[in-house]
Amino acid sequence: MLSSKTVDSTMKDVAANPTHVADQRSEALTPQTEEQAQDQDVPQLQTKDLEGVSEGLLDKAEGVDIPAGGAIGSAKQEKKNAGQQRQKNVAVLTSGGDSAGMNAAVRAVVRQSIARGCQAYIIREGWEGLVRGNTSEPTPAPTPRRTPSASATQSPQLQPQGQHHKSVSFSSLPPSKQMELESTAKARDDQSRLAQEEARVHFTDAGSVAPLSNAPLSFGFGELLKDGAGEGDLEELAAHGLQGVAVADEEDEQGRSLKGRYIVRVGWDDVRGWLGEGGTLIGSSRCPSFRERAGRLKAAHNLIKYGIDCLAVCGGDGSLTGADKLRGEWPSLVEELYVSGKINDEQREAYQHLNIVGLVGSIDNDMSMTDLTIGAATALHRICESIDSISSTASSHSRAFVIEVMGRHCGWLALLAGVAMGADFIFIPESPPTSDDWETEMCDLLQSHRKVGKRKSIVIVAEGALDRNLKPIKPDYVKDILVDRLGLDTRVTTLGHTQRGGRPCAYDRILPTLQGVQAVQALLEATPETPSYMIGIQENKITKVPLLEAVAQTQAVATAIENRDFAKAMSYRDSEFQEMLQAFQISSSLSVSDEAPKDKRLRIGIVHVGAPAGGMNAATRQAVRFCHNRGHTPVAIYNGFEGLLDDNVAELSWLRVDTWTTRGGSELGTNRTLPNIDLGNVAAGFQRHGLDGLLVIGGFEAFHSTLILEQNRENYPAFQIPIIHLPATISNNVPMTDFSLGSDTSLNALVEACDAIRQSASASRNRVFVVETQGGMSGYLATMGGLAVGAVLIYTPEDGISLKLLREDVEFLTNRYMLDTKGKSEGRLVIKSEKSSSIYTTEVLTKIFREEGKELFDARSASLGHTMQGGVPSPMDRTRAARLALRCMQFLESHAVPNGQSAHSKGSHRNKKAYSTETAAMIAIRGSKIVYATMEEVLKHTDMKLRRGKDEWWSDVKRLAEIMGGRQGLIASM
């Protein structure tokens, strides 16, 4: 039973908790001079002002020439002295196979690094790019002059556009004016030095944000990367007789090119718009040369050239193993580079240690010690979208389809697709068919489905599927069996690489962002003694685990399968995997061997209460299939408790619910009516239909209904049956559960709508859209949706809206648009929960932004309304529904007594308490665990007036979203 103790916040460490790390002052080193850099073949990018501005411009103030030996000229020496506390350089690369969400991870690493006062680099083409390094120097964009008080690391683009000053010779000014100017400049320098010192050591404090004025907004390579710029090899084109062909990506309008450049410094805006892009914009490739020491030696040299000592790697187990190998060899590689004269004494001393962290990008979800990998959820979306289309034609022609999905050593995709789509049979490597004659086992099952009237048959095969003798099971062979033995018109579809691509789903934007932020934290905390970490997620918390340990356990699964130890292979999978397999087997089986004894069979009522939510029908389907599997009778109560009063009740057959998995809304019908509308007649309805247990599916009203029934058990013995509430609401406002059915579907609807709105906003260049979401008094949708779509501002009921907050937000938007390159502003989104404020409505906010934006930006509004409730449920909501409904039915079966209403009607228990409070409960997702909470426990964590929980695990994510959107950094600059 779940304790009433407040549960630890699940994402707070990622979002805001101030975790102080060891002081890095001991790593202080003087920067290299330009001459040293040339001697060591170090690119000029490292020794000049990193935005391409020459040192001479630092000695000019508002167009006034200043003597090098004056007060302002001392800024150079201060800049050099400041180097005694070396700024961290963080690089990120993607390697191995691509997966949706990698771009979100890169964006998060880049922006969090800058927010922590570090320099950010991307490495194109994975390990291959790191081995190649750069063969050409960057051509920086023209930049305006900066004032002498500007930080040495300040981006020139942070000066508002349109400022021009006439050049005047310093010596021509009157002495009094010269003294005034020098005094003013010195005061500014003092302030700048203090601010710079704060920013330079900023990475020691995880809870603060570096002012964005201390960071570059752009180095100009973001558009080239986003446009898919490659090498553009003119010689190769000429060799094929294509002389004179224009190479679109050779250089942009500013003369910049990525040709020959694989290590690129990037700024804040260089990764804008990346959240919604599939694959990896910085490229990924296999790198045989990195497997050799000579290749790793080149990689180490290139990292040292650019001062990179923190590396985030997003890839599969092979890529992460390579990363750890590089770190393990690092001291010897550095020594070899020093002996060969490729690095000097200072570099040798400075780069004794390489910090590495891994992010798992894999659509197979095959990494151990993490519940989900980047890209897996989107791949499941692509599979379900494809099978949705296939199912309709399969039913039309009464065909069978054999569908092959990815998964060499992990059957996660095949299993969850089978659950989400209501497939008939699946083949996965961890759990082969129980019989050596699996062909007969499969045919018997499909034939039983056809006998009850099912028109289609769907069989899903993982690419690594095996039988118990390790013989591969191939789709074409399965097809031949179905044709030869059952005479079914059968087709084979291999989904292939369509599973990898496409727009990332909501979860594959949120998860990589949270993990990318934690990756930067892990890099900045790392010491020579700490191992390389892999960033994962377990029990809804972002975690870091030893990388090699995770890789070893992952490889152990493949070893167990090779040894035919399938039980051991399954033990390495999490509890959710095992429960999903059980849910699938129950929902697809018509076997009578699992039926309960006749004297233990029950009549179980199923009712929907509250607003519709994606997953309600999938949960109902699983509950009905469980009843038929065990010999119980599922009793559907249509239209909520009003339907019970109207006696709108019927039994559901096995086939009736077959296609309900993919249907949105509520097939049973639902409303917000509570049972206290007429408790006497509700109790009579329970008795009339002989209910031995009740499953209540819905949101806060469903919880309230269960509470009312539990509180009235003493007066109405008919309510003394086991009752369980399964949370289903798009608002995710039911207390004590991390997720409710429908919340993921709604998040994806929000993301899809906001992607379209952002296109409009960006096309207009200078437009802000205020997007209103549903959610009641809970800001879950606005907060998590804002993080997923890259919103710059988020308004929630929990925080409300004040005049002071609005003033800051208007100032932020104004300053942010002033910093955009003219003609290349970004369309920006503001997400507002519908009940954030009764005064500052969406319309009022839009008018305020439009008025204050003046010529800088325009404002429009969009209300998503009930579109967030409809549509096809997401695969995650479908699979959660199956898992939770299975556990709900097991709860009812374990507590219910057959013919319980008959005993109550005889009055045998009328004068004494014949029930336990534990038999009225809510099922809750707590991390990766499923728990049952009594109504008393849930009530302790509930704000009944505001209709939400008192402890919301996602509350601190809002601040993280505003850090990623730039608000926190720019507000800190003001």
Is the CB of residue 192 less than 8 Å from the CB of residue 146? no
Determine if residue 676 is labeled as part of a ligand binding site.
no
Q: Is 362 annotated as a binding residue?
A: yes
Report d(CA 504, CA 923) in Å as an integer: 30
Structure tokens at 906: 């005889």
731 has binding-site annotation: yes
According to the annotation, is 316 in a ligand binding site? Answer: yes
- Residue 733 marked as a ligand binder: yes
CB atoms within 10 A of CB 494: 15
Residue 39 annotated in active site: no
Q: Any binding-site annotation on 926?
A: no
Q: Alpha-carbon distance 533 to 708, whole Å? A: 49
Amino acid at site 150: A
406 is in an annotated binding site: yes
Cα 948 from chain centroid (whole Å): 24
956 annotated as belonging to a binding site for a ligand: no
Residue 844 half-sphere exposure, CB side, CA atoms within 13 Å? 11
* Cα separation, 327 vs 318, whole angstroms: 14
Q: Is 381 annotated as a binding residue?
A: no
In angstroms, rounded to a whole number, what is the distance separating the alpha carbons of residues 777 and 64? 57
- Is 499 assigned a ligand-binding role in the annotation? yes
Distance between CA atoms of 341 and 59, rounded to whole angstroms?
Answer: 35
Are 818 and 772 a contacting pair, CB within 8 Å? no
Q: Binding residue per annotation — 530? A: no
> Is 730 part of any known ligand binding site?
yes
Q: Is 776 annotated as a binding residue?
A: yes
Of 708, 678, 673, which is closest to residue 694 (Cα–Cα)? 708
d(CA 267, CA 138): 14
Distance of CA 275 to the CA centre of its chain: 10
Q: Binding residue per annotation — 765? A: no
Q: Can you tell me the distance from the alpha carbon of 577 to that of 594, in angstroms, rounded to the nearest whole number? A: 21
Q: Is 491 annotated as a binding residue?
A: yes
Q: Are 855 and 816 in contact (CB under 8 A)?
A: no
Tell me the C-alpha to C-alpha distance, in Å, between residue 175 and each of 62, 172, 178, 180.
Answer: 18, 9, 5, 9
Q: Is 230 annotated as a binding residue?
A: no
- Any known ligand binding at 947? yes
| Distance (Å, whole) CA 587 – CA 624 | 9
Task: Say which residue the tokens 């001991």 belong to.
Answer: 26
H-run or E-run covering 103: helix 102-115
Distance from the Cα of residue 702 to its chain's centroid:
29
Q: 97, exposed or middle or buried, with CB in 10 Å at 0-12, 13-18, 19+?
A: buried
3-state helix, strand, coil in the chain (%, to 5): 45, 15, 40
Is 399 annotated as belonging to a binding site? yes
Q: Which helix (H) or strand (E) holds 224?
A: helix 222-226
How far apart CA 552 and CA 538 sit, in angstroms, is 18
Which structure tokens are listed for 411? 């059957």
319 among annotated binding-site residues:
yes
Tell me if 256 is assigned to a ligand binding site.
Answer: no
How many whole angstroms separate alpha carbon 637 and alpha carbon 644?
Answer: 6
Closest-CA residue to 819 (of 273, 157, 211, 218): 157
Query: How deeply is 5 buried, as exposed, middle or buried, from its count of CB atoms within 10 A (0-12, 13-18, 19+)?
Result: exposed
Q: Give the pair of three-digit tokens for residue 120.
A: 């950010």
Which tokens is 196 given? 């710079």
Instruction: Indicate which residue of 364, 371, 744, 877 is catalytic.
Output: 364
Q: Determine whether the annotation assigns residue 467 to a binding site.
A: no
d(C-alpha 432, C-alpha 444), whole Å: 17
* Half-sphere exposure at residue 773, Cβ-oriented, CA atoms within 13 angstroms: 34
| 407 marked as part of a ligand binding site | yes
The answer to whether 101 and 509 have CB atoms below 8 angstroms apart is: yes
Q: Tell me if 827 sits within 8 A of 769, measured CB to CB.
A: yes
Q: Is 497 annotated as a binding residue?
A: yes
Please name which of 99, 336, 136, 124 lies closest in space to residue 229, comparing C-alpha atoms.
124
- Binding site annotation covers 286? yes
User: What is the Cα gyration radius of the chain?
Assistant: 31
Q: What is the number of other CB atoms lying within 10 angstroms of the CB of residue 533?
A: 24
CB 584 within 8 A of CB 458: no
- 310-315 and 89-94 strand pairing: parallel
Is 318 known as a binding-site position? yes
Q: What span, in angstroms and rounded, lies between the C-alpha atoms of 441 and 455? A: 19
Residue 693 marked as a ligand binder:
no
Which residues sit in the known binding site?
97, 286-287, 316-319, 362-364, 399, 406-408, 463, 491, 497-500, 672, 729-733, 767, 774-776, 834, 860, 947
Binding residues for ATP: 97, 286-287, 316-319
Binding residues for substrate: 362-364, 399, 406-408, 463, 491, 497-500
Give me the active site residues, please: 364
Q: Where is the binding site for Mg(2+), in residues?
A: 317
Binding residues for beta-D-fructose 2,6-bisphosphate: 672, 729-733, 767, 774-776, 834, 860, 947
